[in-house]
Structure 1
Amino acid sequence: MTEITKTKIFGRELCWMYPVENQGRGLPHIHLLLTMFDINKVTSSEDVEKRGISARIPDKDIDKDLFDLVKKFMIHGPCGDLNPNCPCMEEKEVNGKKIRICSKGYPKPFQEETVVLENGQALHARPRDKKIVEVFVSGKRFELHNRWVVPHNPYLLKKFRCHINVEKVNSVTSVKYLHKYVHKLPDRATMNYEEKIDHDEIKEYIDSTVCLSSGGRVENIRIPNI
């Protein structure tokens, strides 16, 4: 948070909020929502570029380090026809037919320039250039281009050297999404057991709470807040 609240790489923030989530066997991560003062709000394609939000493969000859980081941390998939078994794939019904598509919308369409729509959504520039990255999945080699790049901020990516997705949002659904995580409880399961006795109508319930191993470790080692 120092880079955002002290260094102010995105400008002066009005407020911010984030929940900490432990997912599967991974380390804790956050979903951070920044609300900027009017003077620093991102309202145009030029603002998106000024904030350094990119969805492009960097030039390997100009910045080899950034290229390697994007390749390692900010490439989605591959999924779809290239890898139908990717975890992001989900089944949806389209025109009465069930198909499997990426739940994150990848690969994104090519986009020569960044465009901000009337509803505030940003379509990041993903030009049809010759830049590619090579990735291997289950021994298979794939050449991926800008359609597979997750939006990011090069400065944050080079500083922290990990996956950091940075995007412009302009919808109340973003707040609702984060509140879902703020109020999210540990996994719970309800079990119902019925005895086959005609006159006994009592139902026994077991309400159990499951604490994942990663969540337990967070409590034990007391990871400091950001």
Structure 2
Amino acid sequence: MSYLTAIRESVHSGNSRESVKFTKMELEKGTPWGEILRTAMLPAMNQVGEEFSKGVAFLPELIAAGNAMTKSVEAIKAHIPSMGLGEKGVFVIGTIFGDLHDIGKNIVKIGFRVADLGTDVSPESFARACRENKADLAGISALLSSTMLNMEEAVKAIRGENPGIKIMVGGAPLTEEIARKIGADGFAPDAYLAAKKAEELLGARRLNAWSRSADHQTHGRKHLAHPERSHGSRVRRPPSHSA
């Protein structure tokens, strides 16, 4: 028996107790956590988001559904503790200033060491948190299209104080094209794919860092091959002891 439909319905209705119960039951069956997210939780959250944008659902319903999903994600992390060790990198994540939603953000945190700034985060706070946490990656989420300008400002602020950091954006009003225009390194249409994109971006960042390190070491070896000659001096040879 599959509990995926029950998970979807309980998340959509904001019933945390039921969503956690059915999530645990599905995990005990051996269902991969990614499948639970893709086929149950995310469709439920997308449905709530669409209803909210159409005026069918309101902020209380949005918050309740987000809480149900958060509790279910916590159940997943408890079931598979190794997912929360944070070995993939340091990830600063938050919802942009002017936007109060928390949907999806908690899914992306699985497997990273995370500084979660919460909601309604200013560009300055994003930049400062990335610097203080020596972050490898920043994730900015939004639900409302009216916050796009704030998101672009956040990208600029983060880059200004954190050279080399990777920035990922996500949320209902975004597209790949918009993400590129505002200067982000990556975009994901939903939280599960955002987790995968985060891994890709961190992998690319480490590869670039390794490449720079290798180039530096190679450059250094070229200069050290004949250190005496680097100062224009003649190479000294030991005195001859021949008779």
TM-score, normalised to structure 2, is 0.21
Higher relative contact order (CA 8 A, sep 6+): 1
Larger % of strand: which?
1
TM-score, normalised to structure 1, is 0.23
> Rg larger in 1 or in 2?
2
